Amino acid sequence: MKTIRRYILLATTVGMLGACSYDNYDAPESKLEGNLVYQGTPLNLDPRNVYMELWEPGWAKKSKIDIHVDQNGRFSAVLFNGNYKLFIRRNSVPFMAPHNEQTNSDTILVEVRGNKKMDIDVTPYYLIRNASITNSGKTVDATFGIEKIITDANQKDVERVTLYINKVNLVSADTKIGEASLNGGDIADPNAISLTTQIPEMTPAQPYVYARVGVKLAGVDYLIYSPIQKIDF
């Protein structure tokens, strides 16, 4: 018994002394955060689907880090220090990254050395202006205008505008309990659009909902929205 105990003690000691610290990296601890902004104002985006790609060149394997952008245009990521390239895929998002002088493309160079705050300037195809969402009882009315920001060859057409409402303050084409739409071709005056919908029954019942309006563009997957508003009824 005593021998066994001695062996165990010996083995443990040898194990602990011999165990290596080689392949244990420190966790990343530099925080990169900021907003996607247009003229200093953060964009209101889809809560689930907007991602930026962060690539760190120089490694044998290429693999991107997806950085999620939330519905208020905010992003954050904890990274290792290094020189990264940031890239936003064009086709699915309702905005474009502008031409970058340093890379002569729409790729942005990001140097991470410790915590860093940076806002990224992008240009949306459209913006929603003067959105006002009001209610009388369970009827929700939205009036707003849409402004075309990109008018050159990259311009997009409006497929539809939609008013969404949801139980919680995540409101989008994916997460909604009610909606009302108007097709792009039926918009008479882009500066004065109004949409109306009813708040459906909710289980459990609650006396408030959240609402916002969005613009769906032809050839773009995700919408651009107005700020989220809480509606008490």
Partner 1 sequence: MKKILIITFILSLMVSVSCDDEAFLSKQPNDLLNDEQVWKNRDLVILALGDLYNRFPDYQTVEEWREFANFDEAFASRDYGRHQNNDWGFGDWGYWDYSYIRALNSFIKRCGEATTLLEEDRQAFLAEARVLRAAVYFEEVKRMGGVPLILEPLTYDYSGDPTYLQFPRAKESDVYDFVIRELTDVQDKLVDPNVGGGRIYSRATKGLVLAMKARAALYAASIARYNATTPSVITAGGEVGIPAGMAQGYYETALAAAQELIGKGWYSLYQKNSDLRQNFADLFLDKSNNPEVIFVEDFKLKDKAHGFTTNNQPIDQTEEPGDSGWLNPTLNLVQSFEKLDNTFAPLEIGTPGNYVYYDNITDLYEDRDARLWGTVMLPGTQFKGRVVDIWAGYILEDNSIITSGALGGQATLPGRSAPEQVVGKNGPIDQVEKSAQTGYYIRKFLDPAIGSGQRGIGSAVWWVRYRYAEVLLNAAEAAFELGQPDVAAGYMNEVRRRAGFTIDLTPGDITFDRIVHERKVELAFEGHQLWDMKRWRLAHRVWDGQNVGLTTTPGKADASSTKPYGLWPYKVYDPGNANDGKWIFKVVVPGKATGVDRFRLRNYYSEINSDILSRNPKLVQNP
Nearer to partner 1, 100 or 181 (CB): 181
- Closer to partner 1 by Cβ: residue 128 or 220: 220
Between 35 and 180, CB nearer to partner 1 = 180
Query: Does the protein bind partner 1 through residue 99 (CB under 8 A)?
Result: no
Tokens at 44, concatenated:
């209101």
What's the Cα-to-Cα distance from 55 to each of 2, 52, 86, 111, 200, rounded to whole Å? 57, 10, 6, 12, 44
6 binds partner 1 (CB under 8 A): no
Write down the least CB distance from residue 52 to partner 1, Å. Answer: 15
Query: DSSP alpha helices (H): ranges in the chain?
Result: 2-18
91 touches partner 1 by CB under 8 A:
yes
Q: Is the Cα torsion angle 173, 54, 127, 208 positive or negative in sign? A: positive
Indicate the SS3 state at residue 193: strand
Residue 200 interacts with partner 1 (CB under 8 A)? no
Q: Find the binder of partner 1 among 22, 23, 24, 61 (CB under 8 A).
A: 61
- Is 174 one of the binding residues for partner 1 (CB under 8 A)? yes
Q: Which amino acid is at 5?
A: R
- CA-based radius of gyration for the chain: 25
Instruction: Rank residues 77 and 223 by Cβ distance to partner 1 and give the closer one.
Output: 223
Give the pair of three-digit tokens for residue 190: 């882009």
Give least dist CB 162 to partner 1, A. Answer: 8
Instruction: Work out whether 62 is an interface residue with partner 1 (CB under 8 A).
Output: yes
Closest CA to 181 of 151, 230, 210, 216: 216
Burial environment of residue 136 by CB neighbours within 10 A (0 to 12, 13 to 18, 19 or more): exposed
Which one among 148, 181, 184, 231 touches partner 1, defined by CB under 8 A? 181
DSSP string, 138-151: TEEEEEEEEEE---
Per CB under 8 A, the list member of 106, 169, 221, 231 interacting with partner 1 is 221
Tokens representing 185?
């071709």
Q: How far is the CB of 118 from partner 1 (least distance, A)?
A: 25
Which residue is listed with tokens 């459209």?
A: 126
Bridge partners of 216?
160
Q: Residue 68: CB partners within 8 Å, gap ≥ 6?
A: 50, 51, 75
Stretch that binds partner 1, among 55-63, 101-109, 136-144, 204-212 (CB under 8 A): 55-63
Site string for partner 1, 32-51 (x = CB under 8 A): -----------------x--
Q: How far is the CB of 179 from partner 1 (least distance, A)?
A: 8
Chain residues binding partner 1 by CB under 8 A are 49, 60-64, 89-92, 173-174, 179, 181, 219-221
